[in-house]
Amino acid sequence: MSTAPRKTTYREAAREAIREAMLRDPRVFLMGEDVGRYGGCYAVSKGLLQEFGEERIRDTPLSESAFVGAGIGAALGGMRPIVEVMSVNFSLLALDQIVNNAATIPHMSGGQFAVPLVMRMPTGSGRQVAAQHSHSLEGWYAHIPGLKIVAPATLEDVRGMLWTALEDPNPVLIFEHVQLYNMEGELSPAAGPVPIAGAAIRRPGRDLSIITYGGSLPKCLAAAEALATDGIEAEVIDLRSLRPLDDATIMASVARTRRVLIVDEGWRSGGLSAEISARIVEQAFYELDAPPARLCGVEVPIPYPKHLEDASVPQAESIRLAARALVRPA
């Protein structure tokens, strides 16, 4: 087999991760709405039913509470379920299972039961599927002790985080941004599991830190590229894990750059960006040359028309302008 990197997409890398897990561990199975015959609403699981059969690629009834609960039960029973929810908005129907059961059973059982459940769900806007399919609610889940929340934003991460999540005895929620599925890039055929803990510096810089995750990462990197032509070197941090947060990487970066912009497609009030901002002020106040700045989604339901949808979340140009204002105030 050639070891040269080959062209692939985020979608294919996500599928390859599921295939590898199915091949490596017979306890792994995939379950969710339309994951089998239809191939997944974002076509991630296309072809897997033919390869692995109905026992392991299971189409479920339209009841998130039921099939997420079944996934929890399977995990308690020794299986390694991957439960796909069609959109983070629909996962609200399973909130009771996720928050009251998955996150608490290890605690309530005094550590006697682990819940090695992995849930995958698309999140975010940009596909013109309007306000009931486009929100970014991962910040909510990052509020819940007992859950681990990850957001792969690169081909390597979406390829490598799933297996590590399945190995974890805690429930892990993987959020895949809908705008990333078509992202193309090169991936080594040898690409394998990666740690799910810890943030990554995707671009080093000295003038400010841009902290982001998921679907906003490519936009931040594009903004950093544009800023560089203006003589501003932005450091871009990909959080990767939203719970727990990697405080050490964040604070070390802020100590170098002294200015920070947090970019989060989720809403501002009570959001993940607020948590990060608070931690920076608590832990790195004396490193700062300016108050931490946030660029978040506008606090409206995500609109359907493309121009309004685009305007409702951070884009490369608005990120560039916010960063510039922070480094060179008028």
Evaluate whether 124 touches 214 at the Cβ level (below 8 Å).
yes
| Interhelix angle 155-167/10-24, nearest 10 degrees | 30
Question: Is the Cβ of residue 230 or residue 310 nearer to another protein in the bound state?
Answer: 230
Least Å from the CB of residue 124 to another protein: 30
Least Å from the CB of residue 199 to another protein: 22
Beta 184-187 vs 6-9: how paired, if at all?
A: antiparallel
Tell me the window of 12-20, 133-141, 261-269, 284-292 that interacts with another protein (CB under 8 A).
284-292
- 244: cis peptide before it, omega within 30°? yes
Whether 282 is a known active-site residue: answer no
3-state helix, strand, coil in the chain (%, to 5): 40, 20, 40
Binding mask 68-107 for another protein (x = CB under 8 A): ----------------------------------------
Which residues inside 286-315 make contact with another protein, applying CB under 8 A?
286-291
Return the CA Rg of the chain. Answer: 20
Binding mask 227-246 for another protein (x = CB under 8 A): ----x---------------
Whether 133 is a known active-site residue: answer yes
Which residue is catalytic, options 12, 133, 177, 235?
133
Tell me the window of 12-20, 98-106, 285-293, 297-305 that interacts with another protein (CB under 8 A).
285-293
Of positions 285, 299, 310, 311, contacts another protein by CB under 8 A:
285
Contacts of 147 (CB under 8 A, 6+ apart): 98, 102, 103, 141, 170, 171, 172, 173, 243
Q: How many residues bind another protein (CB under 8 A)?
A: 14
Question: Is the Cβ of residue 136 or residue 257 nearer to another protein in the bound state?
Answer: 257
Tell me the window of 44-52, 242-250, 309-317, 321-329 that interacts with another protein (CB under 8 A).
321-329
Which residue is catalytic, options 64, 138, 176, 275?
64
Measured CA to CA, the distance from residue 110 to residue 187 in angstroms comes to 42
Count helices and strands (H / E) in the chain. 12, 14
C-alpha separations of 266 from 58, 124, 233, 262 in Å: 31, 8, 25, 11
Question: Is the Cβ of residue 46 or residue 258 nearer to another protein in the bound state?
Answer: 258
- Token digits for 231? 């003589």
Measured CA to CA, the distance from residue 104 to residue 201 in angstroms comes to 33
Using rule CB under 8 A, residue 329 touches another protein: yes
Question: Is the Cβ of residue 41 or residue 326 nearer to another protein in the bound state?
Answer: 326
Which residues inside 179-208 make contact with another protein, applying CB under 8 A?
206
- Token digits for 149? 């929340």
Question: Is the Cβ of residue 170 or residue 283 nearer to another protein in the bound state?
Answer: 283
Of positions 158, 196, 323, 326, contacts another protein by CB under 8 A:
326
Least Å from the CB of residue 290 to another protein: 5
Contacts of 221 (CB under 8 A, 6+ apart): 202, 203, 236
Tell me the window of 37-45, 115-123, 188-196, 322-330 that interacts with another protein (CB under 8 A).
322-330
Residue with tokens 């909510």: 140
Question: Is the Cβ of residue 210 or residue 326 nearer to another protein in the bound state?
Answer: 326
- Mapped onto helix, strand or coil, the DSSP state of residue 38 is coil
Measured CA to CA, the distance from residue 298 to residue 301 in angstroms comes to 8
Would you say how long the chain is, in residues?
330
Residues that bind another protein (CB under 8 A): 206, 231, 258, 285-291, 326, 328-330
Q: Looking at the annotation, which residues are catalytic?
A: 64, 133
